[in-house]
A and B are shown apart, each in its own frame.
Chain A
Amino acid sequence: MRDIWKVALRLLIIMIIAGLALGAAYTVTKDPIAEQKQMKAEEARRGVLADASTFEQVDFAQGNITEVYEGFDASGASCGYAVTVIGSGFGGDITMTVGVKDGVCTGIRISSHSETPGLGAKSTDEAFYGQFAGKSGQLTVNKNGATNDSEITAITAATITSTAVTNAVNEVLAAASSLE
């Protein structure tokens, strides 16, 4: 019986030390992590709305759209919206920021995803996401390469990922009319 107390006490000591170490690490890293996330989101918004110098959050959420920021240029004129939208890809959620102005997509950035490395993960290459800039209306994915303005060339062997991103952009473009 005494043995059990000894074992339990020692295990408790190990747990307490581990808990304290984790708590300390959390306290030290909490603010820098929040700052990094903030910076990354800001960077994504700037990436899709190149003219904007300040952003203001707009109260809007619909379907898979989670956050909307309106961008203003240096003179204070609106230069479009940066919309955070979640698409459902092959490996889970794909979070991306889509820029839209007057119903036209100004660009997209993928901020987090869990797609297959080497396949769906190529959606973060500019060769893929760069295709969306300047597009409008209802977009479709073409596995054999885009043949017209409303088509997007799919990533080889990652049609699900390509379609997920395209559908999310479509959703933003469709919602843009009620935004503006």
Chain B
Amino acid sequence: MANKFTKTFLNGLVNENPTFRLVLGMCPTLAVTTAVSNGLGMGLATTFVLVCSNFVISLIRNFVPSKVRIPAYIVVIATFVTVVQMVLEAFLPALSESLGLFIPLIVVNCIIFARAEAFAAKNDPVSSIADGLGMGLGFTCSLTVLSAVRELIGAGTLLGFPVLGANYPGVLLFVLAPGGYLTLGLTMVAFNAVMGKIDAKRAARQAAAEGSVA
């Protein structure tokens, strides 16, 4: 059980990384990765909603008739997002202020819906939590990496602290939308090049193991 949990978790984090492998949730990815604090905040808020919605959808998976599963899932997801938004606003105003813009965006994040449909609807609640955590943190890592590149090149800062010196002029292109596309494309190429090598090695090892058995 513990092994399966870890495996599902790592699957979301690396093998099926939502941003670089499944290419899901591109709209928030491009929109919020202008600064590390935004990328990290959006990622963590998404992770929270994803874990909760995966868990609940997995619990009710046998109760929901397949004909109306889409409206049912959307209601579950939207309820969580709204509750999270109200709770943050009431009890953690500082966090709500920095995340405020992104929380309503979570409803339309297709990662959450895709995981409900592809994983939570077919698996037990514990695995669904693992999947939610893995996918959510995978999304968080991707957003953090992308926003770090954009913030560093675009403004010369990381998390608001000047890194490249006060005289760094900043490359506005990277803060604006085109920079988002460029950074996303190039990072995706790098990620998949590395993953391709690892996959090839794994396949070779497996072939060798099968060969020795035969």
* 8 A Cβ contacts from B139-168 to A: 151, 154-155
A21 at the interface (CB under 8 A from B): yes
For A32, the chain B residues whose CB sits under 8 A away are: 90-91
Cβ 8 A contact of B76, one of A14, A40, A114, A118: A14
Q: A40 CA to B90 CA in the complex, in Å? A: 12
Chain A positions 84 through 104: 1 when the CB is less than 8 Å from some CB of chain B, otherwise 0:
000000000000000000000
Instruction: Return the CB mask of B24-41 against A: 1 if under 8 Å, else 0.
Output: 000000001011001000
Q: Is the CB of B86 within 8 A of A33?
A: yes
Tell me what chain A mostly uses at the interface: helix, strand, loop, or mixed: helix
> Does residue B124 face the partner (Cβ distance < 8 Å to A)?
no
Q: A114-B101, A118-B34, A118-B154 are in contact. Are A18 and B75 (CB under 8 A)?
A: yes
Asked whether, in the complex, the Cβ of A14 is within 8 Å of the Cβ of B175, the reply is no
Interface presence of A50 (CB below 8 A)? no
- The bracket for how many chain A residues form the interface is 20 to 34
Asked if residues B67 and A7 are in contact (CB atoms below 8 Å), the reply is yes
- B71 contacts the other chain (CB 8 A): yes
Cβ-defined contact, A11 with B68, below 8 A: yes
Stretch at the interface among A22-30, A131-139, A141-149, A161-169: A22-30
Give Cα distance in the complex from A26 to B83, angstroms.
Answer: 8
Q: Assess the A117–B34 pair: CB atoms within 8 A.
A: yes
Q: How many residues of B contact A (CB 8 A)?
A: 31
A10 partner residues in chain B, CB cutoff 8 A? 63-65, 68
A1-42 to B contact mask, C-beta < 8 Å, 1/0: 000001100110011001001100110110011001000100
Q: Which residues 43-89 in B have Cβ within 8 Å of A in the complex?
A: 60, 63-65, 67-68, 71-72, 75-76, 78-79, 82-83, 86-87, 89
Chain A residues positioned under 8 Å from B196 (CB to CB): none
Contact with A18, one of B38, B63, B79, B93 (Cβ below 8 angstroms) = B79
Q: Complex: how many Å from CA A26 to CA B86?
A: 7
Evaluate contact between B35 and A33: CB separation under 8 angstroms.
no
Q: Which residue of A lies closest to B69 (CB)?
A: A11
B207 within 8 A of A: no
Residues of A within 8 A of B78 (CB): 18
Q: Are B65 and A6 in contact (CB under 8 A)?
A: yes
Q: What is the CA–CA distance of A18 and B60 in the complex, to the nearest angstrom? A: 13
Give A36 to B88 CA distance when docked, in angstroms: 11
Whether A21 contacts B79 by the Cβ 8 Å rule is yes
CB distance from A126 to the nearest CB of B (A): 13
Complexed CA–CA distance, A19 and B210 (Å): 55
Q: A7-B67, A7-B68, A18-B79 are in contact. Are A29 and B90 (CB under 8 A)?
A: yes
A7: which B residues are within 8 A, CB to CB?
65, 67-68
**With A and B bound together, what is the CA distance between A7 and B67 in angstroms?**
8
* A119 contacts chain B at the CB level, 8 A cutoff: yes
The residue on B at minimum CB distance from A117 is B34
Given A11-B71, A118-B35, A118-B154, also A25-B87 (CB < 8 A): yes
Asked whether A14 lies within 8 Å of B72 as measured between CB atoms, the reply is yes
- A14 contacts which chain B residues (CB < 8 A)? 60, 64, 72, 75-76
Do residues A22 and B79 form an inter-chain contact, with CB atoms below 8 A? yes
Within 8 A of A (CB), among B170-214: 170, 172, 175
Say whether A33 contacts B75, CB under 8 Å.
no
| A33 and B34 contacting across the interface, CB-CB below 8 Å | no
Residues of chain B whose beta carbon lies under 8 Å from any beta carbon of chain A: 32, 34-35, 38, 60, 63-65, 67-68, 71-72, 75-76, 78-79, 82-83, 86-87, 89-91, 93, 101, 151, 154-155, 170, 172, 175
Which residues of chain A have a CB within 8 Å of any CB of chain B?
6-7, 10-11, 14-15, 18, 21-22, 25-26, 28-29, 32-33, 36, 40, 114, 116-119, 156-157
